[in-house]
Homo-oligomer: A and B are copies of this chain.
Amino acid sequence: MPTLLLDRNAVKNLMTMGDVIKAVEEAFRLCGEGKGRMPAKVYLSVEHGDFRAMPAALPGCAGVKWVNVHPENRSRGLPSVMAVLIYSDPETGYPLAIMDATEITAYRTGAAAGIASKYLARPDSHTMGVIGAGYQAYTQILAHAELFNPISISAFDVSQAALDALMRSFPQFQIKACSIQEALASDIVCTLTPSRNPIVKKEWISPGTHINAVGADAPGKQELDPAILKAAIVVVDDMKQASGSGEINVPIQKGIYSTGEIYGTLAEVVVGKKKGRANNRDITVFDSTGIAVEDMAVAKFLFEKAQQKGGYPSVDLMGT
């Protein structure tokens, strides 16, 4: 029996941000209905980085993403984050496909924030502020452009080169480079930096803003003044991951914020168990850490689309 092989180019060519948003939103819906299964991710530390095993199952699919973080890779000409996903048949355990999950990770992270904006931002939102013009900025822009039309984008970064590259990549959007305060004066704000100290001050955030806090993904990282969290409706992708490694992790460690103050999960908001913002003056925050059900939903879409199209390489890995 064949195991399908989808390399990075195949994955890129098979998916659009529209597809990924649909798949990830469905994953949140299924999780909200109690149909997703996702044990906590496991960390394996090595000398120059770490690996994470992220297993998950949704109806009709199961698998594991194996992703590394090696910060020194850039000097070797390799991405610091690479991911492989084993996509298995939940009925038999058979490995149906092995795919690059580096692009999946980037796209699903953008999609999850876009979905959070769809449910949490003011419905009339039409401006987006991007804080940090690195790798994450690209899929955040793609996802929000898919869901909010028209949208004006302003971006801040300490690196002019990063801003220039971002603007060159999206000639269709006329991204405006500006100060952090100007970028934060948007309807929707995406914070995408590796900061370990709050860079977004409370007084810079207007009532009604929705913030996707994406940068913090490990203990010790944070981007927002904890006073923003205290005043906001905070929605997380996963209670345990967000508390341990998301935007709220440092304030929780310091005793400034408690898990009891979390409003709910995005899955609960998507299925309507929790309603999200009450009015146009609420500040909402989505604390995104990245969860394996998002990857698995996209992998399912990719596997099915690749099968439909045909012509992708495979290997009889199991000799069955």
- Residues on A facing B (Cβ under 8 Å): 5, 7-9, 37, 39-40, 42-49, 51, 53, 55-57, 62-64, 66, 68-70, 73, 76, 78-79, 81-82, 84, 86, 88, 90-95, 98-100, 102, 313, 315-320
| Bound: A179/B95 CA distance, A | 40
Top 8 A-B pairs, shortest CB-CB distance: A68-B93, A8-B319, A53-B53, A46-B90, A44-B55, A70-B93, A39-B42, A84-B95
| Bound: A319/B78 CA distance, A | 11
Q: Contact check: which of B73, B79, B95 meets A82 at CB < 8 Å?
A: B95
Kindly list chain B residues whose C-beta atoms are within 8 Å of the C-beta of A9: 319
Extra 15 A-B pairs, beta carbons < 8 Å, given A42-B55, A81-B93:
A7-B315, A7-B318, A8-B316, A8-B319, A37-B45, A44-B55, A46-B62, A51-B57, A55-B66, A64-B66, A76-B92, A79-B318, A82-B95, A84-B98, A100-B318
Q: In angstroms, how far is the closest chain B Cβ from the Cβ of A35? A: 11
Known: A44-B39, A48-B91, A73-B92. Is A317-B57 also a contact (CB below 8 A)? no
Q: In angstroms, how far is the closest chain B Cβ from the Cβ of A76? A: 6
Q: Contact check: which of B62, B315, B318 meets A102 at CB < 8 Å?
A: B318
Kindly list chain B residues whose C-beta atoms are within 8 Å of the C-beta of A79: 318, 320
Kindly list chain B residues whose C-beta atoms are within 8 Å of the C-beta of A315: 5, 7, 313, 315
Q: Do A70 and B55 touch across chains, with their CB atoms under 8 A apart?
A: no
